[in-house]
Amino acid sequence: MSLIPDPCSLCETEGRKIYAAIFGGEIPPIVLDRFVSASKRLNKSVLQAEMDSYYRGMLACNDLEALELAARYTRRFPLLSRKFRLMAYLAETLPANQAFFVNERSSFIGGLARSAAGAFRTVYKILKGLWLARRGAHA
């Protein structure tokens, strides 16, 4: 018996949360429609227990980006990683998101600084994600 009422009814909420975690904004309607459709197909490919665990974590988490990074590292929520990849694939087609995928600046020092900042941010996010995943396991 599932603890989550109807996972398909949560697909829009899930899409909004994942898009905001990756891109920090409101999801465009065309991407949301495509995400919901593909997400329903992904949901059919996993066991109910895995889906319940995924939705509990996804709905309760305040930093999905950190949780996804930890999930990728620990292989704990593979569905979360698959849905993040799905959202990235769908959103990269929008011209408004091109700056997230294509770097047009050419500054060695600036690139080095952004790389260092990204490395520190990744370490912070993975530690926070591991803490969130552990907290979720004991909740």
Separation of alpha carbons 83 and 48, rounded Å: 16
The pLDDT, as a whole number, for residue 5 is 52
Tens digit of each residue's pLDDT (9 = 90 or more) over 50-104: 888 888 877 887 888 888 888 888 887 788 889 999 998 988 888 777 667 667 6
Q: What is this structure's pTM?
A: 0.76
Confidence at 1, pLDDT banded by 50, 70, 90: very low
Higher-pLDDT residue of 55 and 20 is 20
Domain definitions of the chain by residue range: 7-138
Q: Contact at 8 Å (CB) between 22 and 91?
A: yes
Write down the mean pLDDT value for the chain. Answer: 81
